Amino acid sequence: MLYIYTEKLFFFGRIKYFFNKLLRRENRGPQAVLDSLTVGLEELGKDFIINKKFTKTINTACVISGVKTLEWAIKQKLEGRVKKIIAGPNLVVSPKDFDGILTDPLIDKIIVPSPWVKEYYIKVAPVLAGKIEIWPAGVSNVPEKGYVKNLDFVVYNKIGGSQLFLDICKILNSRGLAYKVLTYGKFKQRDYFEFLNQARFEIYLSRSESQGLAMFEAWARNVPAFVWENAVFGKDGQSVKGKISSPFLSNELGMAFRDYEDFKAKLPLFLNTSFAPRKYIKENFTNKICAEKYLQIVNDSKNI
């Protein structure tokens, strides 16, 4: 039995989730991760319980989200009701957040969604080096349905009305390319999926992504991504460089550009390159595959 805990273990977390849905806020990362894991576990035929407080001792508490929930799990371990704690991936931005709760020695494993996050965590808190596991959540295996592709691009915009965004729109207009802009926090999830079904490609504009689940959702629908790679993240006096905006981008999934000039130079190549995102996702990042990898981390923690 897998015991999974989220921020909704407590009343405040449930209220927060309710109001986010009511206000149509699209910060759905923690819920999407939970949904992916539970769907994958169901496909594997594995038993799990979500947010169930217990009276007997359990082997492992898997805290997916919620700092207050993690504090509760640590207390349970102190009192002997939990043997192991696995924390993450939706808890903090920096290991220094919330008085450095991730550095508590009672936490046995810490899950982060990508290599650059692991590198950053270790730079900020070297004591975590031996505890961190990389685990990206999966996405649903979306079958091909033969949609009419009447859009060249969906532009997924997380950088607001920046000059880069405006310049990209100008070049798309000048080349007669049809596109739809979705501004982060201002659209419904079903709208995103609807436009992905209509689009040949996606332009993804974000300063950083711990995983980039929205990109995964595009790839699952066979929509390659042309991604602005910001290439640097800094906080708490430390920085990391590399694939920060698109940590899992590969040749099968799309292409990255550095700035507007690079975008303009690479756009013809991107439009004429063959990608295979749906195939890559089916082979590497379905809910079932990723749930199997999560269980491997849990099983390995039993040997700690």
Whether residues 173 and 134 share a domain: the answer is no
Domain count, the chain: 2
Max CA distance (Å), the chain: 66
We report the CATH number of the domain holding residue 19 as 3.40.50
Whether residues 95 and 175 share a domain: the answer is no
CA angle 120, 29, 191 (to 5 degrees): 135
Give first-to-last CA distance, the chain, whole Å. Answer: 19
Domain coverage including residue 63: 2-138+286-301
Total-model pTM: 0.92
Whether residues 213 and 98 share a domain: the answer is no
Residue 24 domain flag: yes
Residue 145 domain flag: no
Residue pointed to by tokens 């947010």? 51
Whether residues 122 and 160 share a domain: the answer is no
| Confidence (pLDDT) at 105 | 97
| Confidence (pLDDT) at 28 | 63
Residue 228 domain flag: yes
DSSP state of 151: E
Residue 184 domain flag: yes
Residue 146 domain flag: no
Query: Mean pLDDT per 10-residue run, the chain (304 residues)?
Result: 94 58 58 95 97 89 97 96 96 96 97 98 97 97 86 97 97 98 90 95 97 96 96 94 96 97 98 97 98 95 64
| Confidence (pLDDT) at 27 | 47
Separation of alpha carbons 109 and 114, rounded Å: 15
